[in-house]
Structure 1
Amino acid sequence: MSTTDVPEPDSPGLVWRPLGEADLPRWHALTQAVEAADRPAERYTEDDLRDELLAGSWKDPAHRSLAAEDEAGRLVAFGLVDVRPGDVSTVRAFLWGGVHPEHRGRGLGRQLLAWQCAVGRQLIAAAPGSAPGELVLHSDEKLADRTALARAAGFEVRRYHLVMRRLLTGEGATPLPQVPVPDGLRVLPWSAELDEQVRLAHNEAFADHRGSEPRTREDWQRWVSGHRDARTDWSFVALVDDPSSPPQVAGYTIAFAFEQDWVDGLKEGWTGLLGTRRAHRRRGVGAALLAASLQAFARDGMDAAGLDVDRENPSGALGLYERLGYAPHQVEVVWGSAVPR
């Protein structure tokens, strides 16, 4: 999917243009300045930015990215629009961007978001099928300026994500939970041979989760099991214990080590995905898998364990995490704006 030209913002002293690979060092410097001011839970390396811009056959930076460059050649604002293939019930256009703290208050964020919304609507209109569309953006709850910007652009709060943490060492840490594996199942380390089955199990497990859409094989391998920060040695799969039949995935957890996020001095093992297929829910599968990851984090010297969860998750995931010792650390707001088709 591509777009027709959307008019770029007009800002005195700035040139607006798409991002390219040659911009990565300057773009990274800009994101670091934004992160230093806003203190988000998620930080970006230069390789992360390259992935955001280029990783994926559907990426089209010439039409889906925009940056503002000042007269000295510094990047002072950026925005990306990402519509991933594979969305079924809702075609989502993810909007991500930022403005250098020294250039805020000039209307750059408002202009940039207007451009992103226009591109997002075009991409949604061009997507196959007739499913409704949604513009999506995320912000930290504590950032009042981002809240005001989203509301002024017509976005509404769709849900709140809690970023949660469990200490593994030091003051406040509690003993690791000992969770039995449910009868008829066995928990094994993740393996490449099971990866496709885990992807399919994930798509089934999250089919009834708000804001979730199926992951294609390319998307899964780039952003989940094949991601540079994935720690498959901290990841586990629950299988139905029946040697007479092919392996059947009942649940799974995929963990990561995002070292760029360890800005408060704590090494953290991150649970990126945890899911249980419907037929195996309410049996303690998720607790057993998460306990296995906690043991792996502790074994390898992590100081803390982290994850995020929809505050209103109907599966009871929040209660599970609290029982295993996790507590809220930050709150992220997910904003949406419907795009009829």
Structure 2
Amino acid sequence: MRCAAGRAAPTLRAVTPRWRPLADDDLGAVASLALRCLAVDGGLPLAATEPFLGRRYSGDGVLGRGVRDAGGELIAVAALRAQRADGVRAAVLTGLVDPAHRGRGLGSALLNWGTAAAPAVGERLTVETETLTPAGQEFLRRQGLRRVFAEDVLRFDLAGTPLPSHPLPDGIALVPWRPETAERFFAVYRAAFRERPGFPGWSARRWIDWTSGDDGFRPQWSLLATDPVVRDVGFVTCADGWIVQLGTVPGARGRGLGAALAAAALARMRAAGLTAALLDVNVDNPAGRLYERLGFTVIGRRARFATG
């Protein structure tokens, strides 16, 4: 919700901000504010683009508020939108505070406004941030919010970092995504992830449509690992500049297959001319350490918080 302090802000007295409704033509100013926050706090570059922000700060059913300084620059922004999760209509609050204007009570005012307005949008309040820092997490904790989800965003520099050297285990072959192999990918996905907390339990059709329906989906980089004895044992799906999902079935773990799949996907991305690859991984997933050993670096953290 609030991009937390990364550089020292001037010592300023607390103020009572005058929030004004956001208009659709404010989206460019919101993107400029998001870029200033991203530069200080880190995070997913996509989160500072107008298409991404437009889904959160404008459109039907979105309540948006902003504060401008004396020169007219947008320095804080907040928005509420409805989102259904676990059968409940939640009011999702997101927002940004300019790093140069922190320490003035803007974050608290943002949260107070969202808390008061949330009942008109949803049954419960969820706070989300694309740029969580330790200071931001402490701020939200002091406001009585608990973290219910967090994932790190990692980046691999395809232009400057040597590709990891991880050959496939003996006997393993790779099969690319094709319409006739899509259900085999799904079967491995389900076997790899169904025991994890929060597994959605989607049908094969829903998962396949979600995976292949992305405009950036790259079937030629999405690979199925097959074993001549136990058949399909691992998979990786990719979009333009992203490793979207990677998993191995329980019986195939501990053989370096996950690292080999990541290395194979990265090699295909580099060959296609990409200069960077991104992925996100839950903070409780030990695979995060694997990706860092492969050469990925953490560039930010995304999170959601709830009341109670």
**Shared fold, TM over 0.5:** yes
159 and 31 in structure 1: CA distance in 2 versus 1, 3 angstrom threshold: closer
Counterpart pick for 1:24 among 27, 31, 37:
27
Which residue does the alignment assign to 2:146?
156
Provide the C-alpha distance between the structure 1 equivalents of 2:179 and 2:217, rounded to a whole number of angstroms: 13
**Matching residue's letter, 1:301:** G
Counterpart pick for 1:49 among 33, 53, 59:
53
SS in 2 for 1:188: strand
212 and 111 in structure 1: CA distance in 2 versus 1, 3 angstrom threshold: farther
Count of matched residue pairs = 290
Which residue does the alignment assign to 2:236?
253
Provide the C-alpha distance between the structure 2 equivalents of 1:296 and 1:256, rounded to a whole number of angstroms: 12
TM-score of the superposed pair, with normalisation by structure 1:
0.63
Which residue does the alignment assign to 1:275?
247
Deviations 1:67-110 (A, max 9, x none): 2154876543223445544636x987654321234443332222
196 and 178 in structure 1: CA distance in 2 versus 1, 3 angstrom threshold: closer
Choose 149-158 or 274-283, whichever is displaced more.
274-283
**Matching residue's letter, 2:128:** L
Provide the C-alpha distance between the structure 2 equivalents of 1:288 and 1:150, rounded to a whole number of angstroms: 39
Deviations 1:115-152 (A, max 9, x none): 33455566663xxxxxxx773534656452x2342122
SS in 2 for 1:287: helix
Maintained 8 Å contact 1:155/1:335: no
Structure 2: gaps spanning 5 or more residues: 1-14
Which residue does the alignment assign to 1:318?
288
Maintained 8 Å contact 1:92/1:136: no
TM-score of the superposed pair, with normalisation by structure 2:
0.68
Aligned-residue identity in percent: 28
Deviation at 1:293, TM superposition (A): 0.4
Maintained 8 Å contact 1:176/1:295: no
Counterpart pick for 2:222 among 231, 235, 258:
235
Map of 1:70-219 to 2, 5 A cutoff? Answer: 70=68, 74-81=73-80, 84-85=83-84, 87=86, 94-117=92-115, 125=123, 135-138=126-129, 140=131, 142=133, 144=135, 146-158=136-148, 161-170=151-160, 173=162, 175-180=164-169, 186-191=173-178, 202=189, 205-210=192-197, 213=200
Structure 1: gaps spanning 5 or more residues: 1-10, 55-60, 126-132, 243-247, 258-268
Provide the C-alpha distance between the structure 2 equivalents of 1:196 and 1:16, rounded to a whole number of angstroms: 50
Provide the C-alpha distance between the structure 1 equivalents of 2:245 and 2:91, rounded to a whole number of angstroms: 21
Task: Please report the RMSD computed on the Cα atoms of aligned residues, expressed in angstroms.
Answer: 4.3
SS in 2 for 1:177: coil
Provide the C-alpha distance between the structure 2 equivalents of 1:284 and 1:177, rounded to a whole number of angstroms: 7
**Matching residue's letter, 2:35:** Q
